[in-house]
Amino acid sequence: MKIPYPFGLREGCYLDHNFFVNCTNSSEPFIPEDIIVKNISLHGQIDTLMYIAHDCYKKGAMVASNNPWLNSPLNFTVSSTQNKFVVVGCDTHAYLLGYQQNERYATGCASVCESTRFMVNGSCTGVGCCEVDIPIGFKNVTMESHSFQNHTMVENFNPCGYAFISKQDTFNFSIDSLRTLRDQQMMPMVLDWAIGNETCNDIENKSNYICGDNSSCQNSEDRSGYRCKCKDGYDGNPYLPTGCQGVGISFIVMLVCSSWLYLMVKQRKLIKLRQRFFEQNGGLILQQKLSKPENSTATAKIFTTEELKKATNNYDETLIIGRGGFGTVYKGLLPDNRIVAIKKSKTVDESQIEQFINEVVVLSQINHRNVVKLLGCCLETQVPLLVYEFIPNGTLFEYIHHKNKVSTVSWEIRLRIAAETAEALSYLHFAASPPIIHRDVKSSNILLDSTHTAKVSDFGASRLVPLDQTQLATMVQGTLGYLDPEYMQTSQLTEKSDVYSFRVVLVELLTGEKALSFDKP
């Protein structure tokens, strides 16, 4: 254990007798009044040990008791910020007695319970355990533990009451404490210490002021005595004449180097993590597929994480333009000033990565005026990101059901939107290779551009149909109200499932009613 000045082991090495640390007659060092020393901090604290007060009974008669006391040296006080006064027992009231600013002071609390039933481990609120704060500048303390009924009602599980000062976060009450504290004599406690009995204003210009160069004076909590502290940029023992030394160039160089090494290691870890996600999300497979001659018309770009972070201002919530069951859509701006929609999915099934990659390749080759164009993806994140062309005028759902937009869509426009949506689905079902079943056709997945041209969007639930099959067995997905009943019952997915959903959209266009309404019988 380090013994820093103003403390010392022999005469000439400590400030005065109050700071003498005796290591000769004990297994542990102690300062005057037999205060055991476990650690000394130049910030004004001493870690020590203090005896536990207790009173024990057998058949209503006291068989053991202990009311410990501590007469601390000048300006050694029980720390009010580092300790609590704790009382444990089911028939116990205990007191902490002492002096504050040379006046008598007492505090305490009571803990009562008839059984262990209502005790809560970790709780000191009066059932089995209670605690109170320590006043500032408290010294020369005595602890007393007493019983209300000589533990006659609780003797079978709690024959003793206990009281002690405990360093915060070192004692955690449990039901077992009623039994185990009997075998424990002492508890960790913290004392505050200061120099002399004068404040900084009184002492700074006197000959007995001991704060060294490059240090400042600080008053103790109760303003009886002072402490020294090295100024910013200095470190060491402020109680020595030249104890506070400048940090120096070497420390700055070491700090810069360590920061650089930390950033370099962090950057390497980030690069490795992104590469792992890229491979895990099928990046290598996608690169191979896009490089094949048969996919030469594909225009999908593989974006980096940094590109999309920059495009969305680090996914600023004010740029969110849509939320759905499969993810969140952000509005983004690419370096070439193209406005895009960036879809951040919630989850991806690792077993379906190859299927996902195939969909990216196929969708990137679709060039139909009524299908939202897929521009690319980012595979460097845990869940892949998809980048689409941005469609500015919102969804068909808004133009059918929001009062302020309904009047802007005439019957002629509605008919054209219906025809364009049908053309898009027909293209996906019969012209795309392999065919694509959308699986979530609804008015909120039909976007409108500046001329109210329909754009089918959101292929998060879509499935590719192998050329040798006419239907797929899948887990049922879709939106209630639009969901094909046959598909819901059989799990057999065909292009007719999309046709059913499209018919619901037609009814929406004709009637202006929602597909699913809870406002009616």
Residue 484: inside a domain: yes
164 and 45 together in one domain? yes
Q: Which amino acid is at 79?
A: S
What pTM does this model have? Answer: 0.49
Give the up-direction half-sphere exposure of residue 399: CA atoms within 13 A in the CB hemisphere.
Answer: 23
Other beta carbons less than 10 A from residue 110's beta carbon: 15
The SS3 assignment for 308 reads helix
pLDDT (tens digit per residue) in 110-138: 999 988 888 999 999 999 999 999 999 99
What letters, b where the CB count within 10 A reaches 16 and e where it falls short, cover 380-418? bbeebbbbbbbbebebbbbbbbeeeeeeebeeebbeebb
* 259 in a structural domain: no
Shared domain check, 137 and 49:
yes
Classify residue 336: in a domain, yes or no.
yes
Which residues on neighbouring strands pair with residue 47, listed in sequence order?
39, 190
Specify if 206 maps to a domain: yes
The reply to whether 188 and 40 lie within a common domain is yes
| Domain identity same for 295 and 370 | yes
Query: What is d(CA 510, CA 492) in angstroms, rounded to the nearest whole number?
Result: 29
339 inside domain: yes
Q: What's the domain count of the chain?
A: 4
Examine the fold and report which residue of 355, 389, 423 is the final residue of a domain before the chain moves on: 389
- 189 and 44 inside one domain: yes
Better pLDDT: 408 or 355 = 408
Q: Is residue 261 part of a domain?
A: no
* Cα end-to-end distance, the chain, whole Å: 81
Query: Which pLDDT does position 357 carry in this prediction?
Result: 72
179 and 49 within one domain: yes
Return the minimum-mean-pLDDT range out of 148-162, 214-228, 258-272. 258-272
Same domain? For 179 and 57 the reply is yes
CA dist., res. 438 & res. 427, Å (int): 11
- Domain holding 285, by residue range, is 281-389
Q: Would you please indicate which residues are annotated as catalytic (active-site) residues?
A: 440
Confidence grade of residue 249 (pLDDT, cut at 50, 70, 90): low
Identify the residue with better confidence: 423 or 290.
423
The pLDDT > 70 percentage for the chain reads 90
**pLDDT score of 352 more than 80:** no
Identify the CATH number of the domain in which residue 414 sits: 1.10.510.10
Q: Which of 336, 354, 389 is the last residue of a domain?
A: 389
- Give yes or no: residues 367 and 406 share one domain: no
* 344 annotated as ligand-binding: yes
Q: What is the widest separation between alpha-carbon atoms in the chain?
A: 104
More confident residue, 358 or 414: 414
| CATH assignment of the domain containing 207 | 2.10.25
337 located within any domain: yes
Q: Which carries the bigger pLDDT value, residue 271 or residue 120?
A: 120
Question: What is residue 183's three-state secondary structure?
Answer: helix
Q: Same structural domain for residues 188 and 46?
A: yes
d(CA 370, CA 340): 17
Which of 158-162, 250-254, 466-470 is the least confident region? 466-470
CATH number at residue 341: 3.30.200.20
Q: Indicate whether 229 and 285 sit together in one domain.
A: no
Domain identity same for 297 and 413: no
Residue 379 CA to residue 281 CA, distance in Å, equals 6
> Cβ–Cβ contacts within 10 Å for residue 181, how many?
21
Express each pLDDT in 20-34 by its tens digit. Answer: 998 876 667 777 777
Residue at which a domain ends, from 176, 193, 210: 193
- Judge whether 429 lies within some domain: yes
Higher pLDDT, 25 or 154: 154
- The CA radius of gyration of the chain, in Å to the nearest whole number, is 39
Q: Are residues 134 and 149 in the same domain?
A: yes
The single-letter code of the amino acid at 199 is T
